[in-house]
Structure 1
Amino acid sequence: MELQQILQQRFGYDAFREGQQEIIEAVLSGHDTLALLPTGMGKSLCYQLPGYVVEGTILVISPLLSLMQDQVEQLRQFGEKRVAALNSFLSFDDKQFVWQHFDAFRFLFLSPEMLASDAVKNRLQQMKLGLIVVDEAHCISQWGFDFRPEYLQIAEALPKERPPILALSATATNQIMRDITHYLGMEKVSTFIHSVDRKNIHYEAVETTSFEKANAIIQQVTQFEGPGIIYTQSRKRTMEYASMLQQVGIRATFYHGGMEQQDRMFVQRQFMHDEVDWICATNAFGMGIHKNNIRQIIHDHLPQNVASYMQEVGRAGRDGGEALATLYYEKRDAERTLEMATLDLPTDWHISRYMACEEPQQLVEAGEMTETAFRVLHYWMRQLAPLQVSQKIQELASEKQQQVMALAKIITAPCIRTQLVAYFDEELLEKPKNCCSGCGLQKSEILAPYIEKNEPKALENWQWRLKHLLPFN
């Protein structure tokens, strides 16, 4: 069956989006493939369609439960029944069912941590795999070294006689691409790179103070149309923003990694079904959220690196409509962000305690080390000598500082867009109207005013309440 016919019959699309067909053809030709497609360009189809051409299971290694669940539900909407995700979200009975029918699924989703288990490794050795997919592959470089070391061990878990690997991401520098291909053990790689520049996303950076920031954000939300996402670093702050927005009549709620899984899934569904217009969230929210009409992304802080920032703002304007990405920052933001970025890195003291302890895992149970710091340290202690581990941790801290400072420099540049594109080793050839705050932009030309939708009396009431809101520190 021809690709065009499968596209129409299975997925209901009349034509491929830019880049999709070339990537699919490379995979079907047996090539290891690295594909960078901007958010909203249909990366998932690049492995979904081959599932109806190749023999064997399509193994998808995915970073988040919410992302897996979204991808599973998307395939089921296309009529696929032989699809499952093996993760902690499943009940005991459902896990048993997936395990018993492991090699019967057309699409099977696993996390890197699940892939690292001996039971799963052994099962994969006995299976017929048609394609191995690493979704959001930039996480190998972004998370593998200092957050989720299982990402660096993916290649070790794969069968020696494996099918092609397809690594997918929206953003990656040349160094990140080298990390991806190296740690996945990819060979003779076919690479497809599409520009990270999204002309319909307009960038704004606003210097402010802690005292002014909250009211500025609330005022922007009430003045210009959503839906949108407000990103903040603090779980407490997500709740405070949501409360303030609710006080002025905006349908808003909060989301963070400390919530129960069921509650997080409920919030996602509310947002997807337009039951709430604004999500106030930590960076735990967004990956796998395919909502096309997001008009605004607001940051109240400096993210930890340029790649994270681009991933987050890239969730806006997926329908091709105009979107605004606003970042409110203070002079000390780089310092604060660096503190957050290095919070879970192990120290020399942790290394000494690890070496002195017969059961290092007890350090976590005793509260001497966070779970993340232990997993990172445990990985590197098996790779390097103790002195080299100390040097490696110092290198990671230095890299994080460089990444934070790179973004701090970009948002204060004469043209934010030019510097963002340059960071990903591209050259900006054309600027759109209302390019960025450095070039000058008019929000009213990008987004329709939201307050015009309200009756004058209601508007006066909102303005009074905004004026009397107390900003938080």
Structure 2
Amino acid sequence: MLKNALKQYFGFDDFREGQEEIIQSILKGHHTLGILPTGSGKSLCYQLPTYIHQKPTLIISPLISLMDDQVMQMKMNGEHQVTAIHSGMSSDERTLAYNQLTSSRFIFVSPEFILQVHHLERFSQINFGLIVLDEVHCLSEWGFDFRPHYALIGDLLKLYTNIPILALTATATQHLKQDIEYVTDYSFKVFQSSMDRPNISLSVKHFDAYQEKLSWLLTTIDTSGPTIIYVSSKKVCLDIAEHIYAAGHLTGIYHGDLSYQERYTVQQQFLNNEIRIIVATSAFGMGVNKPDIRTVIHFHLSTSPSNYLQEIGRAGRDGQQSQAIALYQTDDQYLIETLAIANSIRDEDITLYQQGQLIDGEINDILTVLTQRYTIQALHQIFQQNYERKTRAFRHMLNYVSTQYCRRQQLLRYFDKPVITIENCCDICGIKHEIHEKNKKKVKRKRTHKEKLESLFE
């Protein structure tokens, strides 16, 4: 029966690994945590039950870019009863979206948006058949000290006690299930396929200085195919993009300070291959469904294995061989540590907040949100645990770049998961297939004699 529905609604004869078990669990009414690798068709796990039940689905999503990309993909595939509502929309766009709510099969919102009282009232009138927590690792990774409304999502779920919840992610730490159940007050059945991506080779390049990294990068992108370059800050993003442009390549930048329209434009240009290289902070990634990304370069290392797997998971979604390359210099250790734990909320912050003392405004806002549901004692325990996890995570990444053994084994050990890759594993085990896909230079400038000669043989 389920395969008949798959054929009817999507034209596929068979499910991908893990999809059928997750969908069966949902159809039986179980709260379900599905852990499937990037590019393995997680969205089908909620789309098919929606068509079968003929009831709308609410998808709570962490990023605007992710929502927009999923809405665009669904519309391109012929599903037009889909709506997203978020802060990046104009008032007219939002009014139009509100008017479409009652006729929508799929409704995408952020936690911050739907937890506003007047929005809760509006959505409580809709007879949902399924609630999806998309990219649910963010609830665990960001939920308390970055996006605190994630930690209140249980308040929303209390309004829909008889509706199954589907939590989806590509990466799962050993404590993810525990975190979700703590926040939602529900038990979840877990279905997980391998987190390994055999078609993405892993390597690390070591350098002594920033300029050495930059020189290597400018040479490599000539033949790296569609490429994402992850950096640590807006400042570095702009600097590297300028050098890439000066080298003759069109490139886009993506960071949190861009307007919604600027971010959307860059993303669409990249998806359409109008630009082949993106320089981005971690704000870019989860909403990008570009199948032919060949290379992901981390100019600065991610602060955790979860972030790293999510970011390199943009590569090779078409199943073709791709590569993830991390660039590392000794000084990066201090940068990674700072990014990982410098903004952690400490015991003294919570104590000062409780006493009504003046503290950092952002921390004050976070604690104000969280105390709607959690006691001060609970917050002390939560943030102590968060600090320990973040410390363990960034230290694991330092071990990843310094290991003398298989990098893939080192990376997946953090999740206690096995390696299934046999060929083109990592630079230590050996990579036979290196990416060599030319990125043509499109910036008009005076060419050197050598470049003119090379162009004759293209």
TM value normalised by structure 2? 0.89
- Once the two structures are TM-superposed, the CA of residue 435 in structure 1 deviates from its matched residue by 1.6
C-alpha distance in structure 2 between counterparts of 1:400 and 1:50, whole Å: 36
Native 8 Å contact 1:11 1:78 kept in 2: no
Cα displacement (A) at 1:418: 1.0
Aligned to 2:425: 435
Residue 422 of structure 1 aligns with an amino acid whose one-letter code is R
- AA of the residue aligned to 1:377: L
Count, aligned residues = 447
Distance in 1 between residues matched to 2:334 and 2:100, nearest whole Å: 50
**Cα gap change, 1:385 to 1:118, in 2 (>3 Å):** closer
| SS of residue matched to 2:427 | coil
What is the correspondence of 1:22-37 to structure 2 with a 5 Å cutoff? Answer: 22-37=21-36
Matched, 1:399 2:398: no
- Distance verdict in 2 for CA 1:280–1:123, change over 3 Å: same
Instruction: Report the CA distance between 1:121 and its aligned residue.
Output: 2.2
Percent sequence identity over aligned pairs: 38
Query: Equivalent residues in 2 for 1:5-404 (5 A)?
Result: 5-158=4-157, 159-187=159-187, 189-211=188-210, 212-222=212-222, 224-347=223-346, 350-351=349-350, 354-355=353-354, 357=356, 369-371=360-362, 373-381=363-371, 389=379, 392-404=382-394
In the TM superposition, residue 452 of structure 1 has moved relative to its aligned partner by 11
Local SS of the residue matching 2:395? helix
Q: 1:417 to 1:267 in 2, by over 3 A?
A: same
Aligned alpha-carbon RMSD (Å): 2.7
Q: Secondary structure at the match of 2:323?
A: strand
SS of the residue corresponding to residue 103 of structure 1 reads helix
Counterparts of 1:106 and 1:369 in 2: how far apart (Å)?
42
CA distance in 2, matches of 1:351, 1:181: 24
1:450 partner letter? K
Partner of 1:466: none
CA deviation string 1:164-212 (max 9, x = no partner) = 111100010221122123323333x332111111111111012212241
2: CA distance between counterparts of 1:126 and 1:248? 56
TM-score (norm 1): 0.87
Letter in 2 for 1:291: K
Question: Which ranges in structure 2 are unaligned for 5 or more consecutive residues?
Answer: 454-458
- In 1, are the aligned partners of 2:201 and 2:425 still within 8 Å (CA)? yes
3-state SS of the aligned residue for 2:129? strand
2: CA distance between counterparts of 1:308 and 1:385?
A: 29
| CA distance, structure 1, for counterparts of residue 217 and residue 4 of structure 2 | 48
Are the structure 2 counterparts of residues 238 and 199 from structure 1 closer, same or farther at C-alpha, using a change threshold of 3 Å? same
Deviation per residue, 1:370-392 (Å, 9 max, x gap): 53x23332245556665775565
Deviations 1:42-96 (A, max 9, x none): 1011111211111432010001111111111222223223211121122223323
> What is the distance in 1 between the residues matched to 2:102 and 2:290?
32
Query: 1:145 deviation in Å?
Result: 2.2
